Amino acid sequence: MRTPRQRERRYLWWFAALFVVVAAASAVAGVLIGRSEHPGEDTVSSGQWALLIAIVVGFAVLCGAVGLGFTLWRRRRGSAMFARSPLWELPTQKERRGLVRDLRRERPIDPHRRELAVRVARDFSRRRGLIWVYLALGVVNGGNAAIQDSPARWFYLAASVIFLGIAAWWVWLITRMRRATDRLATDSAF
C-alpha cells in the first residue's frame, strides 16, 4: 500500500507527463499546419523542420519540468494553493471522490471521517488563488479571440469560455465547502 505522499507524487508525475505530451503534440501540429498552409513556398528543408520540432518538444519538456519543480518548491514553502490535500489520506480515488461529493451535497459524514472532512473542506476553501488563475486565463484567451482575424478566433473563444466556466465552478465549490465547514463545526449530526 502506498503512502499518501507516494500516491500524490505519482499523480503529479502523470500530470506533468500529460502536460508535456499535450504541449508537444500541439506545437508539432502547429508547425505542421504552418508548413502545409504554403506548400509551394517551402524554403525549409525536412532536416530543418525536424530540428524545429525537436526544439519545440524539448521546450515542452523543459516547461513541464519547470512547472513540476515550481509546484514542489511552492509546496515546501507552505503555499496554500500548492499544499498537499488531506484527501490523499484516503486510499482510493473512489473514496476521495465520495467524500468530496458528500461535502458538496451536504450529506451526512461518517463519524470516523469527520475530522478529515473538516480538513478537506478547509483545504478547498484555502485554494481561492485558483479562481484568479482561471479568470486570468479566460480573460487572456478572450483578448486573443478579440484580436484574431482567423479561424483561431473560435479556438480562443472556446478556451476563454471553458476557463471562465472553470473559475465559476471553483467559486461555487469553495462556497459549498465553506458552508460544509461551518456546518461541520456546529452540527454533530452532519
Model confidence pLDDT, tens digit, residues 80-131: 777 778 888 888 889 989 999 999 998 888 888 889 999 999 988 888 888 9
> How sure is the predictor about 69, in pLDDT bands with cuts at 50, 70 and 90?
confident
pLDDT classification of 190: cutoffs 50, 70, 90: very low
Whether 44 has a pLDDT exceeding 50, the answer reads: yes
Is residue 101 within 8 A of residue 180, CB to CB? The reply is no
Percentage of the chain exceeding pLDDT 70: 88
Q: Evaluate if residue 188 carries a pLDDT over 70.
A: no
The string of pLDDT tens digits covering residues 139-180 is 999 998 898 888 888 888 999 999 999 999 999 999 999 998
Global model pTM greater than 0.85: no
> 43 pLDDT band (50/70/90 cuts)?
low
